[in-house]
Structure 1
């Protein structure tokens, strides 16, 4: 029964060892049985927190534009060991983070044309903050996005608050 639970969970989506252990505990699988089974799944490569963390960091950064801080929080929430998480987060450097923030800000800036410049700036910075970007990175990305948007439209500078 416990093996079937794990296989169903892994067939649906990759999971960390901690997530699988929680699922087994919720299904009242004895802890010693769960540990032995999880150890065996790790031995055969079905459970690999390092690979899971690297995949999660790569996809969430590329697809959702999440910053390292947000990714670190998500890995912690999913029970990935802090050292394993740190190694996975090394895939993203400062330049990658700024580029992703700029891309997000440019996309969002297009949708906010016509708004008051101060409100527009605040919304863009807030969106980046929710994705885990530091205030410095967020403001650089917002400034770049608004400057680019101003050049694309009528060349009128949008000015800062």
Structure 2
């Protein structure tokens, strides 16, 4: 049976070559959306990360953009929510300062503004996080070897802590 772009396909259907692009335009967005939802069901994703995964699976960039716009409008894809989830998990595992946390979010495709806002919100709502992370970083650094306060301060700066954070702890 010969199928045209508007026809439903069944096993054994043959698509007329000139109808193939129209057929793909019709079936690709729902398939892309379904794949995006499956990825989101496993874990919160940033828009950028989700877009990369969908493009890697062969979906057209335009289709990915349209599908992600719809999911964002529906509140299903939300970089601010992703940032919050990522930060809550990250601060439990890694001893990093605010700058390093922002950089981690930006590397995951979150805009710098959203990343900075998420980190500021985390610290504002949990002021002990900054001190806890700083003390944890110090303990971890000093486990490897003893060092001067200057060397320790330099290492903490590289871990994303600010001069003010370091000054407060010493």
* Unmatched 5+ stretches in structure 2: 1-30
Q: Which of 79, 82, 89 pairs up with 2:119?
A: 89
- 4+ aligned runs moved over 6 Å, structure 1: none
Size of the aligned set, in residue pairs, is: 137
Distance 1:107 1:86, change over 3 A: closer
Query: What's the RMSD between the two structures over aligned residues?
Result: 2.9
What CA distance in whole angstroms lies between the structure 2 residues aligned with 1:40 and 1:136? 42
Taking the aligned partners of 2:38 and 2:82, their CA distance within structure 1 comes to 17
Query: Secondary structure at 1:89's aligned position in 2?
Result: helix
TM-score (structure 1 length as normaliser): 0.66
**Pairing partner for 2:76 from 22, 46, 64:** 46
Distance, in Å, in 2 between the alignment partners of 1:127 and 1:56 is 24
- In the superposition, relative to structure 1, how do residues 12 and 126 fare at CA in structure 2: closer, same or farther (>3 Å)? farther
- 1:123-157: per-residue Cα shift (whole Å, max 9, x none)? x556634532235644764x5xxxxxxxxxxxxxx
The counterpart of 2:51, out of the listed 12, 21, 46, is 21
TM-score (norm 2): 0.63
